Structure formats: C-alpha cells, structure tokens
Amino acid sequence: MWEAIDIAGSGASVDQTWIDTIGGNVANMQDGVTPGQPVYQAQYVDAGASVEPDGSGDGVKVDSIDVGPAQGQDEYDPNNPVANASGEVEYPVVDLGQEMTDLIQSQTSYQANSAVMSHATDAYQSILSIKA
Amino acid sequence: MVIPAIPAIPSVGSAESAGAAQAASSASGAGAATGASGASGASASSGASGSSFSDMLGNAIDSLDASQQSATNLSLQAAAGNANIADVTVASTEADLETQLVTTVRDKAVDAFNSIMDMQA
C-alpha cells in the first residue's frame, strides 16, 4: 500500500546520501598530505532506478558511491608541516563551485520528494474521507 | 491481536452489500483478502459474509499494528541518531494513513449495521 509515499521516501533517502557526500567532500577539501601519501578522494553518488521483479518502478536507490581521482593536486606551501622536501603539499581534487551547485540541486530534489509525499498523503486522505 | 468474530449480519438489502463491497475492496488493497463475499453482494445470505469481514478487519488491524511498531522503532532509532529522517517520516505517515483507513472501514461497517438496525417499522 501507499506506493507513492514509499517511492518519494526512496528519493529523499538518496538525496540525503547525496547531501551527506557533498558535506564530506567540502569538509575534506583542505586535507593536505605529503605528496605520495593517500589523499582524500571526493565521493559521488551513482543513483539508479529501483525496479521490482515484475518490471514496475519502485523508486530510486544508490547503485554505488564513485570516488574522484586518487592523485591530488600539489600546491607550494613550504611552511606546512606535511610539505615534502621541495615544499609541495598535496590536496584532494574537490571543485567547491561544483559541490555548491550539487548542494542546491540535491536540496531542491529533497524538497520535491517531500512535496510528493505531502501531496500523496493528501490524496490518500481525500479518498478516505468520502462520505456515503 | 485477536479480534472476536462479529456475528453474521443477515443480508437484508443494499446497505449491507455496499458496506461489504467497500470492505472487500479495502482488503484487496491491504493484500489481506481471503474469499471476501462482498463481490456477490446481496445474494450472500449465508454466515460467510460475517466471518470474512471479521477476518478482514483482524488482518487490517494486524497490519496496522505492524506499521505502528515499525514507526515506533524508527522513531526511537531517530532519537538515538541512527535512522534516516525520510524513513521515519514515511513510516509514521503510513501508520497514520493506515489508522485512518482502518477506522474509516470500521465506521462504514458500523454505519451499515446501524442503518439495518434502524429499519424498524
């Protein structure tokens, strides 16, 4: 029962994961390491349609979390304690502008799914309140 | 949860058949229909309509109980910081809607019963 609400809920869950990865990317974009050490890799949600065995739609799900490049970008900062002999520090590849754009999109998508949930609830309630 | 069987209502006209048909259609929505006699309408003069209605209402209340348990558990997990807010909202909204569905079906059945009881000359 209540399929529309379940489907909108799956969308909101995926959007939540999306927002979480954006938060992680922004929080870790300044994680400098000595060049050659493992650097933080940006995370990106790969979402796909969730289909039931009979072929009907069942919302959306996170297929996988893809990661950005393992090779960071080097910046010259000789006073940094983790700088190497030539004064370079390696930072993760995170495009802040892209992350902010994704944040707006994910927020709008979350609101859209929330609106579907709200309107589906109204629709179900209207059918329940029919008087004989 | 155990629901005592509701005695069969003698088939006396359209009021009951309308109520039974509604009950049957709700039951199939809940996946709980077991030989509901509503489709046969006024011709279902045996006691079968009474027992199948009580089965349907019992199954609906079992399902409602499960929804509410699920909503309660998710709310507790959310309070502890372990659940997704969207999942909690979905579970509590569905428990709310299911409560409204069961009470609506109950009200319709009571209306049907009362309309029969009021038929005193």
Residue B23 pLDDT: 43
**Lookup: tokens for A63:** 């297929």
**Lookup: tokens for A73:** 């970008």
pLDDT class of B3 with cuts at 50, 70, 90: low
CB-based contacts of B76, cutoff 8 Å, min separation 6: none
> Distance between CA atoms of B20 and B38, rounded to whole angstroms?
5
CA dist list (Å): A38 to A2, A53, B34 = 46, 41, 61
Chain A touched by B93 (CB under 8 Å): yes
Q: What pTM was computed for the model? A: 0.68
CA geometry: angle at B19 spanning B12 and B110, to 5°?
90
**Lookup: tokens for B113:** 């019963």
Q: Chain A contacts of B97, Cβ < 8 Å?
A: 2, 5, 121, 124-125, 128
Whether B53 and B24 have beta carbons less than 8 Å apart is answered as no
- The pLDDT tens digits for B30-72 are 443 343 444 444 444 444 455 687 888 888 889 899 989 989 9
ipTM for the whole complex? 0.70
Residues composing chain A: 132
Mean of all residue pLDDT scores within chain A: 90
**Lookup: tokens for A74:** 């080097």
- Name which of B26, B4, B21 is nearest B112 in CA terms: B21
Chain A touched by B3 (CB under 8 Å): no
Window B:19-48, CB contacts with A under 8 Å: 29-31
